Amino acid sequence: MNEDCSSFLDLEDRIISVLKSIFDPEIPVDIYELGLIYDIQISRGKEVKIIMTLTTPNCPVAESLPIEVKERVQSIEGISNVDIVLTFDPPWNREFMSEEARLELDM
């Protein structure tokens, strides 16, 4: 594996680690395991684009959660910019949750 590839994987791991420290306030599971993160893209310039959703369009944290995600990911050393894209297509459903999240919620 070349150096570029391993540094991108390392950066992606650090981004995922940060995302796993952010919790949905109504569900005791982090947003990554909940399946709210649809995609993480990292450019050569270390610009990050995260495509995410919420459990519902009327989610009480619709305003604050994307801002928190942006600020927390932006704080990772080496990242030059973070763009958060909020989408409801496809709409989130329980099938997007990881096995870990389902076990946590007794599903």
Q: Looking at the domain assignment, is residue 40 inside a domain?
A: yes
Q: Looking at the domain assignment, is residue 95 inside a domain?
A: yes
pTM over 0.85: yes
Residue 67's CATH number: 3.30.300.130
Tell me the pLDDT of the chain (107 aa) as tens digits.
Answer: 555 666 767 899 999 999 999 998 888 899 999 999 999 999 989 999 999 999 888 888 888 999 999 999 999 998 999 999 999 999 999 999 999 999 988 88
SS3 41: strand
Cα–Cα distance, 24 to 1 (Å, whole number):
36
Q: Looking at the domain assignment, is residue 62 inside a domain?
A: yes
Q: Say how many Å lie between the first and final Cα of the chain, rounded.
A: 39
Structural domain total, the chain: 1
Q: Looking at the domain assignment, is residue 107 inside a domain?
A: no
> How many CA atoms does the CB half-sphere of 90 hold within 13 Å?
7
**DSSP bridge pairs for 39:** 51
Task: Note down the domain range covering 67.
Answer: 3-102
Cα–Cα distance, 41 to 100 (Å, whole number):
24
